[in-house]
Amino acid sequence: MEKVILIKYGELTTKKGNRNFFVKTLTKNIENKLKDFNVLIEKDLSRMYIHYNELDEESIINKIHEIFGIHKYHIAYVTNSSLDSIKEELIKTVKLQNFKTFKVETKRSDKTFPKTSMELSKIFGGIVLKNKDNIKVDVNNPEVIIHVEIREKNTYIYYNEFNGLGGYPSGIQGKGLLMLSGGIDSPVAGFLAMKRGIKIDAVYFEAIPHTSLEAREKVITLVNKLKVYTNDLNLYIVPFTKLQEEIYKNVSPNYVITIMRRMMYRIMEALCKKYNAKVIINGESIGQVASQTLNSMYVINNVTNLPVIRPVACLDKLEIIDIAKKIDTYNTSILPYEDCCTVFVPKHPIINPTLEETLKEEEKVDFEEILQNTIANTFIYKNEKNYENIL
């Protein structure tokens, strides 16, 4: 019995104008994801069929759950589209299933087929009843819908329906830069942004020696976990120490965080320009900390005209944690290494900063040169340590 994974495009096909591009990107992403397996991918207008080696089934299904743009999929039995072989395949496969009530839904894209879909469903239903004990038809609320899809060459029979990750294929939306701190929220924000098809690169603000190399390692681990859902994901490291120290030295303690976040946004804007990204993405969640009140957001966001996407803005912490656990970033995020936001937290950061006061504070120092240097010294992290010879 040959099996295929049958993928329906779902939401993708509602966007008529872009459909080809969407499907092409999805195909490329699937091919890329399954490149270590012996698979054959067939496509038609509304579906994709992945032929695979039975032994790899579990591993391939796991990979399918890492690909955005797949909404529903089925594991289907394939046979050729003659009535006899369809019947035969039905008899063989129905015995492997476990259900009490069912109905048959037949689709016939090959309209030259000598019987209508309704007639066929009746015939197939009869066959199922004859070949399995203790089952009955229930058209309103069946435990299993047996799908028989008759196409020109092949017919697909399936008893199941699984949910994929949903979303849009990775990369169809152009690029955004994610502010990745190492906490719980920002990886989730990155995941959700990717879900809508945004290609992301991550930016990490580093304040060595106030933060440790372990904190960097933690961010790298998070990047690797997010990479599962995309083809590639660069990490930019911003050497933030000097700027942060200047702020800390010169600005009123309660405005330190506000000014620091404004500096980060300025750097983000510059990096977006440099690396051709259209939006800033971060893990801010309304009201979670002092810098994430609406007043703070207003004052901080004021330094840039770029859209700032905050995918978790309206989620509760527990909702964010749920996603973090699902995407396996949670356990890394809670490792106790300080990041640059926690190192310099004053006792009483201002909850409702004003723009006027902020500008006054910022004028105390000429940040421009340090800011430009920081941007210029930002670098792409390359995984230079390769243990091939040792391990």
Partner 1 sequence: MIYFDNAATTKVNDEVLKTFVTVSKDYIGNTNSLHKLGFESKKLMTAATKQVADLLNVKENEIIFTSSSSESNNLAIKGVLEAYPNRKKIILTTILEHPSITNTLNSLKDVEVINLKLDANYHINIDDLKEKLKLDPILVSIHHVNSELGIIEDINTIGKIIKENSKAIFHVDGTQSLGKIKVDLNYVDLFCASAHKFGGLKGIAILVKKEKINLSPLINGGESQTIYRAGTPALALIASFSKALRLAKEEQPKTYLQVKEINNYLRDELNKLDNVTINSKIDSSPYILNFSIKSTKPETMIHKLESYDIYLSTKTACSSKEDYSKSIYLLTNNKELSKTSLRLSLFKDNTISEAKEFIKVLKDITNNM
As measured in angstroms, the least distance from the Cβ of 63 to partner 1 is 16
Binding mask 187-226 for partner 1 (x = CB under 8 A): -------------------------xxx--x---------
As measured in angstroms, the least distance from the Cβ of 327 to partner 1 is 16
CB contact at 8 A, 177 and 202: yes
Q: Which residue type does 152 have?
A: E
DSSP 20-32: HHHHHHHHHHHHH
As measured in angstroms, the least distance from the Cβ of 229 to partner 1 is 20
Judged by beta carbon, residue 173 or residue 212, the one nearer partner 1 is 212
Residues 6+ apart with CB under 8 A from 229: 66, 67, 68, 165, 170, 191, 194, 327
Q: Please report, as residue ranges, which positions from 317 to 336 form the binding site for partner 1 (by CB under 8 A).
A: none
Judged by beta carbon, residue 90 or residue 222, the one nearer partner 1 is 222
CA dihedral sign of residues 95, 97, 102, 106 = negative
As measured in angstroms, the least distance from the Cβ of 221 to partner 1 is 9
Should residue 383 be labelled a site residue for partner 1 when binding is judged by CB under 8 A? Answer: no
Should residue 154 be labelled a site residue for partner 1 when binding is judged by CB under 8 A? Answer: no
CB contact at 8 A, 102 and 142: yes
Proportion of the chain in helix, strand, coil states, percent, rounded to 5: 40, 20, 40
Instruction: Count residues binding partner 1 (CB under 8 A).
Output: 9
Query: Tokens representing 357?
Result: 């006061």
What is the total residue count of the chain? 391
Should residue 391 be labelled a site residue for partner 1 when binding is judged by CB under 8 A? Answer: yes
As measured in angstroms, the least distance from the Cβ of 127 to partner 1 is 35
Answer for which of 40, 314, 318, 390 binds partner 1 (CB under 8 A) is: 390
As measured in angstroms, the least distance from the Cβ of 356 to partner 1 is 43
Should residue 380 be labelled a site residue for partner 1 when binding is judged by CB under 8 A? Answer: no
7: which DSSP letter? Answer: E
Judged by beta carbon, residue 58 or residue 84, the one nearer partner 1 is 58
Should residue 389 be labelled a site residue for partner 1 when binding is judged by CB under 8 A? Answer: yes
Query: Tokens representing 134?
Result: 């203790």
Q: Considering all CA atoms of the chain, what is the largest pairwise distance in Å, rounded to the nearest integer?
A: 86
Judged by beta carbon, residue 217 or residue 322, the one nearer partner 1 is 217
At residue 333, φ and ψ (nearest 5 deg) are -60, -30
Should residue 387 be labelled a site residue for partner 1 when binding is judged by CB under 8 A? Answer: yes
Query: Tokens representing 304?
Result: 């840039």
CA distance 302 to 265: 9
As measured in angstroms, the least distance from the Cβ of 245 to partner 1 is 20
Q: Please report, as residue ranges, which positions from 338 to 357 form the binding site for partner 1 (by CB under 8 A).
A: none
Residues 6+ apart with CB under 8 A from 106: 117, 118, 120, 121, 124, 147, 148, 149, 150
Judged by beta carbon, residue 318 or residue 391, the one nearer partner 1 is 391
How, if at all, do strands 175-179 and 199-206 pair?
parallel
Judged by beta carbon, residue 46 or residue 212, the one nearer partner 1 is 212
Judged by beta carbon, residue 141 or residue 386, the one nearer partner 1 is 386
As measured in angstroms, the least distance from the Cβ of 214 to partner 1 is 7
Question: Residues in the site for partner 1, rule: CB under 8 A?
Answer: 212-214, 217, 385, 387, 389-391
